[in-house]
Chains A and B, each alone.
Chain A
Amino acid sequence: MKRLPIADQIKQNGHAAPSEPTDGTIWFQTVAELHDDPKVAEQRAREFPEDEPYAPPDGVDRRTFMTLMGASMALAAGVSGCRKPEELIVPFSKQPEGFIPGKSEYYATAIPIYGTAVGLLVESVDGRPIKIEGNPDHPDSKGGTTSLIQASILDLYDPNRSKSPKSGGKDIPHEEAEKQLAAVAKAMVAKQGHGLAVLAEEHRSPTTARHLDRVATSLNFSKVRRFEAFGRENQRTAWHNVFIGQPLDISFDLSAADVVVILDADILGSESNPVRNSKGFAARRNVDKGNMSRIYVAEPCPTVTGHAADHRLRVQARRVGDLLKALASALVAAGAPIADGLGGTPTLSDAEKKWVTAAAKDLAKAGKKGLVALGNRQPPGLHALAAALNHGLGSIGTTVLPSLPPDGVFTNVAAEGVSGLAQLVEELNSGAVDTLLILGGNPVFNAPVDLKFGEALKKAKTSIHVSSHYDETSELCTLHINRAHFLESWSDAVSDSGVHSVIQPLIAPMYGGKTDAEVLERVLGGKRSAYDLVLSTWSKVQKLDSKGFAAVVHDGYLVPPREQIAPEIETLALNAAMVSQGLGSVTAVAGETEVLFAPDPHAYDGRFANNGWLMELPDPIFRATWGTVAAISHATAKKLGVVDGDLVEVSIGETKVNVPIGIAFGHADDSITLPVGLGRRLKGRICEGVGVDVNAVRASKGWFIAGGAVKKAAAGEKLAVTQGHFVMEGRPLIRQQTVEQHKANPTWGRDYVSEKPGGFAIHPPLVNSWEDWQYHGHKWGMTFDLSLCTGCMTCVTACQAENNIPVVGAAGVLKSREMHWLRIDRYFAGKAGQVDGLDDAQAALMPLPCQHCEMAPCEQVCPVNATSHSPEGINEMTYNRCIGTKYCGNNCPYKVRRFNYFNWNKDHPEEHKLVLNPDVTVRYRGVMEKCSFCVQRVNEGKIAAKKQKDPSAAREVMRGVQTACQQACPTNAITFGDLNDPGRAPDQRGPEERRPVSELASLGRAYGILTEINTRPRVTYLARITNPNPELPQAAPPIGAQPAAAHAAPASKGEH
Chain B
Amino acid sequence: MATSAPVTPGDTPGTRAKLVLGQPTFKTVNEDIASIVESKPTPKYLLGLMFAASILLVMVGSLVKLVYSGVGVWGLDNTVFWAWDITGFVFWIGIGHAGTLISAILFLFRQKWRTSINRAAEAMTIFAVMAAGIYPAFHVGRVWLLYWVFPVPNQMSMWPNFKSPLLWDVFAVSTYATVSILFWYLGLVPDLATIRDRAKTKLRYLIYGILSLGWRGSHRGWLSYEKAYLILAGLSTPLVLSVHTVVSFDFATSVVPGWHTTIFPPYFVAGAIFSGFAMVITLMIVARKVLGLEHMITIRHLENMSKIILATGSMVGYAYAIEFFIAWYGAVEYERYAFLNRMFGPYWWAYWSMVSCNVIFPQLFWFKKVRTSIPALFAISIVVNIGMWFERFVIIVTSLHRDYIPSSWTYFTPSIWDISLFVGTFGLFLTMFLLFCKFLPVIAASEVKGVMPQADPHGDDHHGKDEEAHAHG
Partner-B contacts on A (CB < 8 A): 723-731, 733, 754, 757-760, 762-763, 815-818, 823, 825-827, 846, 848, 857, 860-865, 881-887, 889-891, 893-895, 897-903, 924-928, 1010, 1013, 1015
Contacts and interface: CB of A to CB of B under 8 A. Distances in A.
Contacts of B405: 731, 733, 825, 848, 893-895, 1010
A547 B406 CA distance: 57
B161 A759 contact: no
A903 B73 CA distance: 12
Given A885-B166, A891-B255, A902-B72, A816 B406 contact: no
Given A857-B254, A902-B72, A926-B140, A883 B409 contact: no
Contact of A891 (B77, B139, B256, B410): B256
B146 A883 contact: yes
B92 to A, nearest CB: 18
B contact patch SS: loop
A1013 B255 contact: yes
B257 to A, nearest CB: 9
Interface stretch (B18-26, B52-60, B78-86, B197-205): B78-86
A901 B75 CA distance: 10
21 contacts: A724-B410, A725-B407, A729-B337, A731-B405, A731-B406, A754-B333, A827-B406, A860-B253, A865-B161, A883-B140, A883-B146, A883-B149, A884-B71, A884-B142, A886-B71, A887-B82, A895-B404, A899-B71, A903-B70, A926-B141, A1013-B404
B149 A864 contact: yes
A889 B78 contact: yes
Interface in B150-187: 158-161, 163-167, 170
A887 B149 contact: no
B406 A863 contact: no
Given A901-B72, A902-B70, A895 B167 contact: no
A902 B68 CA distance: 10
B394 to A, nearest CB: 15
B69, B140, B170: which has the most chain A beta carbons within 10 Å? B140
Nearest to B250: A887
Nearest to B409: A725
A885 B158 CA distance: 17
B141 A927 contact: yes
B166 A863 contact: yes
A890 B256 contact: yes
Contacts of A725: 406-407, 409
Given A724-B409, A729-B337, A890-B256, A1010 B69 contact: no
B439 interface: no
A827 B78 contact: no
List of 8 A-B pairs having minimum Cβ-Cβ separation, nearest first: A884-B141, A926-B141, A901-B72, A758-B331, A816-B77, A886-B81, A825-B407, A895-B408
B391 interface: no
A287 to B, nearest CB: 26
Nearest to B413: A815
A897 B78 contact: yes
Contacts of A825: 405, 407
A816 B410 contact: yes
B122 interface: no
A846 to B, nearest CB: 8
Contacts of B148: 864, 881, 883
Nearest to A826: B407
Contacts of B69: 902
B90 interface: no
Contacts of B253: 860-861
B145 interface: yes
A762 B410 CA distance: 27
A757 B161 contact: no
Given A728-B406, A731-B405, A863-B167, 13 more contacts: A729-B337, A731-B333, A731-B406, A815-B75, A827-B407, A848-B405, A863-B161, A885-B141, A890-B254, A895-B403, A899-B141, A900-B70, A1013-B404
Nearest to B167: A863
Interface in B208-246: none
B255 A893 contact: yes
Given A865-B161, A890-B82, A901 B70 contact: yes
A7 to B, nearest CB: 39
A864 to B, nearest CB: 5
A754 B331 CA distance: 12
Contacts of A726: 406-407
Contacts of A890: 81-82, 254, 256, 400
Given A890-B82, A895-B403, A863 B142 contact: no
Residue of A846, A890, A893, A899 most packed against chain B (CB within 10 A): A890
A300 to B, nearest CB: 25
B428 interface: no
B70 A757 contact: no
Contact of A887 (B76, B81, B159, B407): B81
Contact of A861 (B71, B78, B159, B165): B165
Contacts of B403: 893, 895
A731 B406 CA distance: 9
A1049 to B, nearest CB: 14
Contacts of B160: 863-865
Nearest to B411: A724
Nearest to A1013: B255
Nearest to A770: B163
Contacts of B141: 882-886, 899-900, 925-928
Nearest to A728: B406
B254 A891 contact: yes
B142 A882 contact: yes
Contacts of B149: 863-864, 883
Contacts of B78: 816-818, 889, 895, 897-899
B139 A885 contact: yes
B142 A895 contact: no
B79 A861 contact: no
A700 to B, nearest CB: 42
A1045 B384 CA distance: 52
Contacts of B165: 861
A863 B164 contact: yes
A1042 to B, nearest CB: 15
B333 A864 contact: no
B159 A865 contact: yes
A997 B255 CA distance: 28
Contacts of B250: 887
Contacts of B334: 731
A891 B167 CA distance: 15
Interface centre among A728, A760, A815 (most CB of B within 10 A): A815
Given A901-B70, A902-B70, A862 B407 contact: no
A760 B336 CA distance: 11
A823 B405 CA distance: 12
A884 B140 contact: yes
A30 to B, nearest CB: 43
Contact of A759 (B79, B333, B400, B411): B333
Contacts of A816: 77-79, 410
A758 to B, nearest CB: 3
Nearest to B79: A895
A435 B209 CA distance: 98
B79 A862 contact: no
Nearest to A757: B331
Contact of A727 (B70, B158, B406, B411): B406
Contact of A731 (B139, B167, B331, B404): B404
A887 B164 contact: yes
Nearest to B404: A893
A763 B72 CA distance: 38
Contact of B71 (A724, A733, A827, A926): A926
Nearest to A888: B81
A726 B406 CA distance: 7
A315 to B, nearest CB: 28
A1010 B142 contact: no
B463 to A, nearest CB: 51
B312 to A, nearest CB: 28
